[in-house]
Amino acid sequence: MPKLPGPTGLPPFWLALSIAAVWGLDRLIPFSFFGFGGQVVGAGMVVLGLGLMLGAALQMWRHRTTFIPGRDPAHLVTTGFFRFSRNPIYLGDAFVLSGIVLWLDVPLGFLLVIGFMTLIQYRFILAEEARLNRLFPDDYRRWAAKTGRWIG
């Protein structure tokens, strides 16, 4: 059985670190900008993000392929959530982090969301795209031409 990467090789580590940074900003710079509406929208975004992550992971599980970064997938999944995003799990992460920024009322936290998405793209997504292109060249190119990296 292949060994799991260390914690820095798993995206949930970076999500947890980003959430902790948002919480730290909230404690360092208490602010009230979004108010109760931010909590409602933020909670909805967290639920949406968790749903995206879980739904996409279940789709990959049903196709008997991995969602662990660094491992070669057995199949290219292009249906369901993957019709709208090549990275619905990472998109879900970004929704969760954005929801927490709104919930905790930390406008500066959106800079952390941008930083998180940039880190995920360069640390994980580009390597995964290269792997998919190597393993499923024609199918991957067709899918990538019509499906956005994050959304669209």
Task: Provide the residue-wise pLDDT of the chain in tens; the chain has 152 residues.
Answer: 556 567 788 899 999 999 999 999 999 988 788 888 899 999 999 999 999 999 999 999 999 999 888 899 999 999 999 999 999 999 999 999 999 999 999 999 999 999 999 999 999 999 999 999 999 999 999 999 999 999 98
Alpha-carbon span 98 to 92, nearest angstrom: 10
Q: Domain boundaries in the chain? A: 34-146
pLDDT number for residue 2 = 55
pLDDT number for residue 25 = 94
pTM greater than 0.85 (yes/no): yes
Identify whether the C-beta of residue 140 lies closer than 8 Å to the C-beta of residue 78.
no
